[in-house]
Structure 1
Amino acid sequence: MSKHVFFVTCPKGVEYLLADELESFGLAQVRNAPAGVWVEGELEAGYRACLWSRLANRVILHIAEVDARSADELYEGVVALDWQSHIPVNGSFRVTFLGQNEEIRNTQFGAQKVKDGIVDSIRGAGLPRPSVAPKDPDVTISARLNRGRLSVGLDLSGHSLHMRGYRTEQGLAPLKENLAAALLLRAGWPEIADAGGDFVDPMCGSGTLVIEAALMALDIAPGRKTERFGFEKWPGHQPELWLALRQEVERRAHEGKNKRIPAFAGFDQDARVIDTARNNLRRAGLDNIVSVDPRPVSAFERQPDWADKGLVLTNPPYGERLSERKELAALYQTLGETVLRELPGWRLAVFTGAPEFGKSIGLRSFKQYKLFNGKLPAQLLLFDVQPENARTPRDPAAPGQVMPRIANPERADMLRNRLKKNLKTIGQWARKQNISCYRLYDADMPEYALAIDLYDGNVHVQEYLAPKSIDEKAARERLAEALAVIPEVLDVDPENLVCKQRQRQTGTKQYEKQAATGEYFNVQEHGCTLKVNLKDYLDTGLFLDHRPVRHWIQQHARGKRFLNLFCYTGAATVHAAVGGASRSLSLDMSKTYVSWAQDNLALNGVDLRKHVVEQADCLSWLADRKTSNQTFDLIFMDPPTFSNSARMAGVLDIQRDHGTMVRQCMERLSSDGLLIFSNNFRKFKLDEDLEAEFEVKEVTASTLDKDFQRNQKIHRCWHIQHKLTD
């Protein structure tokens, strides 16, 4: 038998599942396309796809591809094809048309040109003119225009295959049947059913998920009840082959009901929608196999005859209105508590357009799939229902919490496009430099006043405090949009995104914990290993803007004695030690950061006897004459702008005090040594007298990598040395 090429369409995000399914029918994959798969195989396999595909929308038999840069070129290409092989004599047809270009901007116009070409081709062969029938034609011709080429095919399905025939009435927001099947496959239902598991949907609506689960487990073809397919009046149709396939369908359905039948149960709090589900079950021939009952999630109970394992798959409400969304957290939490109590050992799968409420379920998800419900982005979240996977439920709608949500799609597209652009420029630069932690976005657009930093696949978002002129509600709306867009563009799990509001921190506030997760991980920078924590503190443990300064220190530290004042987590000291510094002293007032700095040094195999970290008030240490006899060849001082910590002897004001602090550092600097002095006070002015006393050179421009060149005031930096004496 001859091979044919087919284009099989499906919901967006289901392409890979569809390719696997088509392979099982004997169709070899040619290539994937958006919302479809190109395959080749015998006509029997195409028929089988029409009957058995649980995922496809349409099965299109490819006829030809013609040039179609203009309307005339399209017409000439179509009229040259052998249409009498595809449209019956005295038969009827219709054309579906997708796509456009500069000349063919309207699908109706494109469809008309294809119709004209078909009619003129058949009449030119001396045959009767076929009729055009918008409804119930003998055959449907599919025309798809893309980049100046028109793909023409015969729609073997005749109608969208997601319509199985059992659903004539619906609930409020029904899932399409083929999307429901995709969710079942992603959730592992065939394997669970084969292993003796049962199926439950506690929010079943009109019953689509539980019906599709039963059809799948009982080996009932989704096209079994379809009265007519699009190829049955096609001149190339093979009736005997088709009859054999229809007989196989009936045989397998009979055998499926004779093997073990899992328990199938659906529940919903709305009794009216349960009536709809019962009607759908009756039309599907499953009313004696699937049970559905009106019952809210809170009243859900395990039935005595259910297996010890199974699948709970459900599609809860998304909460389109704000008032509804405020109630979602409680619903999702109840769902999680109920399955953990009633069905331990089962798998829970939740398909939702509001995936942030997955945190309210109170279980740790082990897998997330990105899909679409129509045009709405959604996720399938998978959970193993085990006590050890329990976690504290979180309400994303609680006061102070910002829910990812796009209120203004056009504005969100602006941010989406900017992030994609930055990924191409800054991201490409970072990869070439082997830099895995960098700033991707820094308030590039006034609408989104954020800093977005990447840390080895994790995202740290800092929201700059909006000025008083900006309405607080508007600022939260924009932040919600950003939190929806960022994971999508960066292709990261929202669980790996941390968002903080950036405010001026003074005194001990800069050391106060924001959280207590204890979630540290290691990152690499110029051959150094550094420990970071994105959640627990205002900052992460690594000032990304000082990356070039640290690298410079590493390159110039060999054999030198290094002093790091206000050392924070000691990253600069790590670079100095890795660069070959003979010894170092690092000082910070925070016990937390002193311990962190010691951990960073230990991670890099540094001898802590030679590289000492001490808890100390740097102002007092600098003012202490007892320490003035310690000499260093390289000093790094990056003080806070202001500090009035109770642990300090006085108050630090960098503008007022820097002159004294620099001079005290210079007393400890060897004659040919170097002080690197930096701070991030935007209005800072260097004491002019320092330039008279020492060799002072501002090096700020050379300490800003590509990811910080938009924000040239992120810090300022000077190299200060003793003046040479004659």
Structure 2
Amino acid sequence: MQALIDTIARMAPSGDAHRVFHGRGGLHPGCEDWTLDWYPPVWVATHFGNTSDDDVRALGEALQARWAIIGQGQPLNWVLQRRQPDGPVSRPVTECMAGSVPEPHVVHEGGARYLVQVMKGQNRGLFLDMAEGRRWVRDHARGARVLNLFAYTCAFSVAALHGGATEVINLDMAGGAMSTGQRNHRLNFAGTPRDGRARFLVHDLFHSWGKLTRMGPYDLVIADPPSYQKGSFVALKDYPRLLRRLPDLLVPGGQALICLNAPEIPESVLREQLAREAPTLVVEQRLPNPPAFADASPDRALKVLLARQG
């Protein structure tokens, strides 16, 4: 795990949440099972599979040594989550190894604030690999009506409103995640002119096309579904059903941000599905991922395509 230790020794202070080390990208031999994230004021290390007590001790010592230099006298807070390798999902085991975790835990990114939860489950409330997607939305949302599908905790919606969107419709079938999304909006916009510009629909997308079409059309549609969530969305089966509906939701010249985080599905498959199911949508670019998420295989990394309605 030397590459992880070396990265920790070079870490610089930052006020924004971000990934520090991405062993999962395959660019650090011997560290493929490690990631390290910064959710201020907490370091979150994740290990996939079994790890030794010696490795955990070395990680803690490296964090403590670097924090003594960059931590401005604050106590070190760090969390370790152990997950099973890719395959059947089991409950992760999460421990606070030093310090504490604030509750509520609010982090910053690009001037926005988001609630996160680093002690429960695998999904922490803010997907750090999507930072460039949120940046793009913030930079291009001025004056736009936005539809945010599979909204989760509505981070895209917060970014769009920070960027000047006139309205955002958020849809997700998970009521708990949408409740957090509403709290995220209050954190950012309560008492401001942007308060009230977001709507929150707890619906199953595939039973809501009529309602969404009547509420449209939209200047921007964001589709960031889970790659595999039983009873909700399975990428290989359901993405074609989603793509063929997008043109009807967009204004002429409108844009769609099409996201896929499924390492087993290459970009070419997503492009082929798009060309077949929505030929009026023309791909303009694939957005970059944050540099920390560099991957030996771009096809395994997060794929975010920007398409425009012809």
Which amino acid is 1:589 matched to? M
Partner residue in 2 for 1:585: 169
List alignment gaps of at least 5 residues for structure 2.
68-74, 96-100
1:445–1:560 CA distance, 2 compared to 1 (3 A):
same
2:198 aligned with 1:611, yes or no? yes
2:156 aligned with 1:575, yes or no? no
Secondary structure of the structure 2 residue equivalent to 1:676: strand
List alignment gaps of at least 5 residues for structure 1.
1-413, 466-474
How many residues align structurally?
282
Match of 1:497 among 49, 57, 79: 79
Match of 1:566 among 141, 150, 156: 150
1:674–1:486 CA distance, 2 compared to 1 (3 A):
same
Q: How does 1:198-597 map to 2 (within 5 A)?
A: 415=2, 418-421=4-7, 423-424=9-10, 427-428=11-12, 431=14, 435-443=16-24, 444-446=28-30, 449-465=33-49, 475-477=50-52, 480-491=53-64, 496-502=78-84, 519-597=103-181
| Cα shift at 1:531 | 1.0
| Cα shift at 1:575 | 0.5
Q: Is the CA contact 1:546–1:703 (under 8 Å) kept in the aligned structure 2?
A: no
Secondary structure of the structure 1 residue equivalent to 2:245: helix
Secondary structure of the structure 1 residue equivalent to 2:62: helix
Which amino acid is 2:79 matched to? L
The separation in 2 between residues aligned to 1:550 and 1:653, in whole angstroms, is: 23
TM-score for the superposition, normalised by structure 1: 0.36
Secondary structure of the structure 1 residue equivalent to 2:185: helix
| Cα shift at 1:613 | 1.6
Secondary structure of the structure 1 residue equivalent to 2:306: strand
The separation in 1 between residues aligned to 2:141 and 2:197, in whole angstroms, is: 14
| Cα shift at 1:570 | 0.9
| Cα shift at 1:441 | 3.7
The separation in 2 between residues aligned to 1:612 and 1:503, in whole angstroms, is: 37
The separation in 2 between residues aligned to 1:486 and 1:592, in whole angstroms, is: 34
| Cα shift at 1:518 | 8.7
Partner residue in 2 for 1:636: 222
Secondary structure of the structure 2 residue equivalent to 1:691: helix
The separation in 2 between residues aligned to 1:513 and 1:673, in whole angstroms, is: 43
Partner residue in 1 for 2:308: 721
The separation in 2 between residues aligned to 1:549 and 1:588, in whole angstroms, is: 19
User: Which of these two proteins has the greater Rg computed from alpha carbons?
Assistant: 1
Secondary structure of the structure 2 residue equivalent to 1:628: helix
| Cα shift at 1:451 | 1.4
The separation in 1 between residues aligned to 2:29 and 2:122, in whole angstroms, is: 23
The separation in 2 between residues aligned to 1:719 and 1:678, in whole angstroms, is: 9
Identity within the alignment, %: 21
Q: Is the CA contact 2:23–2:31 (under 8 Å) kept in the aligned structure 1?
A: no
The separation in 1 between residues aligned to 2:150 and 2:110, in whole angstroms, is: 22
Which amino acid is 2:280 matched to? F
Instruction: Provide Cα deviations, 1:506-534, integer angstroms capped at 9, x if missing partner.
Output: 99x99x9989x993311111110111110
The separation in 2 between residues aligned to 1:486 and 1:558, in whole angstroms, is: 44
Bigger relative contact order, structure 1 or 2 (CA pairs below 8 A, ≥6 apart): 2
Partner residue in 2 for 1:672: 253
Q: Is the CA contact 2:257–2:304 (under 8 Å) kept in the aligned structure 1?
A: yes
| Cα shift at 1:535 | 0.4
1:513–1:423 CA distance, 2 compared to 1 (3 A):
closer
Instruction: Provide Cα deviations, 1:376-406, integer angstroms capped at 9, x if missing partner.
Output: xxxxxxxxxxxxxxxxxxxxxxxxxxxxxxx
Secondary structure of the structure 1 residue equivalent to 2:183: helix
Instruction: Provide Cα deviations, 1:160-188, integer angstroms capped at 9, x if missing partner.
Output: xxxxxxxxxxxxxxxxxxxxxxxxxxxxx
The separation in 1 between residues aligned to 2:293 and 2:285, in whole angstroms, is: 15
Secondary structure of the structure 2 residue equivalent to 1:703: coil
Which amino acid is 1:563 matched to? L
Instruction: Provide Cα deviations, 1:611-662, integer angstroms capped at 9, x if missing partner.
Output: 01221112322xx3243222111111111112223xx5xxx32112212201
Instruction: Provide Cα deviations, 1:407-437, integer angstroms capped at 9, x if missing partner.
Output: xxxxxxx52x64334653xx45x84xx6443
Match of 1:706 among 268, 282, 291: 291
The separation in 2 between residues aligned to 1:505 and 1:671, in whole angstroms, is: 42
Secondary structure of the structure 1 residue equivalent to 2:189: coil
Q: How does 1:180-191 map to 2 (within 5 A)?
A: none
2:254 aligned with 1:682, yes or no? no
Q: Is the CA contact 1:588–1:615 (under 8 Å) kept in the aligned structure 2?
A: yes
Which amino acid is 2:293 matched to? F
TM-score for the superposition, normalised by structure 2: 0.80
Which amino acid is 2:183 matched to? D
The separation in 2 between residues aligned to 1:559 and 1:715, in whole angstroms, is: 28
1:616–1:709 CA distance, 2 compared to 1 (3 A):
same
